[in-house]
């Protein structure tokens, strides 16, 4: 799982070294190469019958695929619009959005510690947003990034609801569906293509190493690790991603991002640690 978060975190620094590809074209090529990678990886992980089983996956599988598509698309668009630190810290709100979605749509009870974490993390994000407004910065990238944890929360809620009804969703094929949909949605806006050969090599690497392999491994990790362990280890993506963008692309996070990010990550870490201890 640590290796998974390290692979996830390379998107920002790699994107900063693209020569000509921008915005929707970046999103399209990463999703397209993810599709090609998964067409090879899925039979290796799940056997040759995985594609035939997808046809009987039910509506939950396809809804999950739509959610994955949103996560893939919004993430890469956000990376091209704002700093890596802004995107990763905003994405870290996923567990808290998931808790709220589970409360609203499934009726799961939210512990007091999680309510406190939601308030503290919300304050950290509000501080980041407020600082950008006062400094005349654009909020578009951060708002797009906010759609990533919202899509993730919807994905988890759908899969949990399906599980409660006795229908488990196989998340690895859902990743493939998401990548296909992301490619189709962004293709018209990606034209005409401007990516150089250098860009295509980097984006192919993202499709394979940053998305296809770690997403498949993460699903396998969830079968072994407990949910709090996965959530805590997942926070390493934020730390790795900011450090890689700092060292590899000279993208120094501002003081408002560091302070707001500390509130967000601290609230999430404390919430998961307390939950882990209570379960133990």
Q: Interhelix angle for 227-234 vs 255-279, to 10°?
A: 160
Above 70 in pLDDT, residue 280? no
Q: Which residues fall within 8 angstroms of residue 279, CB to CB, at 6 or more apart?
A: 226, 228
Q: What are the tens digits of pLDDT across the range 165-216?
A: 766 667 778 889 999 999 999 999 999 999 999 999 999 999 999 998 998 8
Q: What is the DSSP string of 14-42?
A: HHTT-SS--HHHHHHHHHHHHHHHHHHHH
Pick the closest to residue 70 from 147, 5, 142 (CA basis): 147
Provide the 10 A C-beta neighbour count for residue 45. Answer: 13
Pick the closest to residue 92 from 145, 55, 137, 44 (CA basis): 145
**Domain with 122 in it:** 2-279
Above 70 in pLDDT, residue 87? yes
Q: Which residues fall within 8 angstroms of residue 183, CB to CB, at 6 or more apart?
A: 28, 31, 32, 35
Provide the 10 A C-beta neighbour count for residue 53. Answer: 13
Whole-structure pTM value: 0.85
Averaged pLDDT score across all residues of the chain: 85
SS3 78: helix
Q: Encode 196-205: b = buried (16+ Cβ within 10 Å), e = exposed.
A: eeebeebbbe
- In whole angstroms, how large is the CA radius of gyration of the chain? 18
Give the pLDDT score at 134. 58
Of 10-24, 33-47, 167-181, 246-260, where does the model show the most confidence?
Answer: 10-24
Pick the closest to residue 92 from 130, 66, 118 (CA basis): 118
- Can you tell me the distance from the alpha carbon of 238 to that of 265, in angstroms, rounded to the nearest whole number? 9
Pick the closest to residue 6 from 212, 236, 259, 264 (CA basis): 236
Above 80 in pLDDT, residue 115? yes
Give 115 or 48, the one with higher predicted confidence: 115
Number of domains in the chain: 1
Give the pLDDT score at 52. 76
Give the pLDDT score at 54. 77
């Amino acid at each position: 799982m640590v290796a998974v978060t390290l692979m996830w975190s390379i998107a920002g620094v790699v994107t900063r070294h693209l020569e000509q590809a921008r915005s929707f074209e970046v999103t399209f090529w990463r999703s397209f190469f993810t599709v090609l990678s998964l067409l090879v990886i899925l039979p290796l992980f799940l056997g040759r019958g995985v594609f035939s089983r997808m046809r009987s996956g039910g509506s939950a599988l396809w809804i999950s695929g739509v959610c994955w598509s949103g996560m893939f698309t919004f993430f890469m668009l956000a990376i091209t619009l704002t700093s890596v630190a802004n995107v990763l810290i905003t994405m870290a709100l996923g567990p808290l959005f998931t808790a709220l979605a589970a409360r609203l749509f499934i009726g799961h009870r939210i512990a007091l510690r999680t309510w406190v974490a939601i308030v503290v993390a919300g304050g950290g994000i509000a501080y980041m947003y407020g600082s950008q407004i006062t400094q005349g910065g654009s909020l578009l990238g951060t708002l797009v990034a906010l759609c990533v944890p919202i899509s993730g929360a919807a994905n988890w809620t759908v899969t949990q609801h399906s599980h409660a009804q006795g229908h488990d969703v196989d998340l690895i094929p859902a990743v493939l569906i998401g990548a296909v949909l992301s490619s189709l949605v962004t293709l018209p806006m990606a034209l005409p293509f401007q990516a150089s050969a250098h860009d295509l090599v980097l984006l192919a690497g993202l499709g394979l190493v940053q998305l296809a392999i770690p997403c498949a491994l993460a699903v396998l990790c969830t079968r072994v690790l407990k949910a709090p362990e996965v959530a805590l280890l997942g926070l390493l993506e934020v730390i790795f991603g900011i450090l890689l963008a700092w060292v590899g692309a000279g993208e120094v996070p501002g003081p408002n991002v560091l302070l707001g990010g500390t509130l967000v990550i601290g609230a999430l870490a404390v919430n998961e640690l307390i939950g882990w201890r209570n379960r133990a």
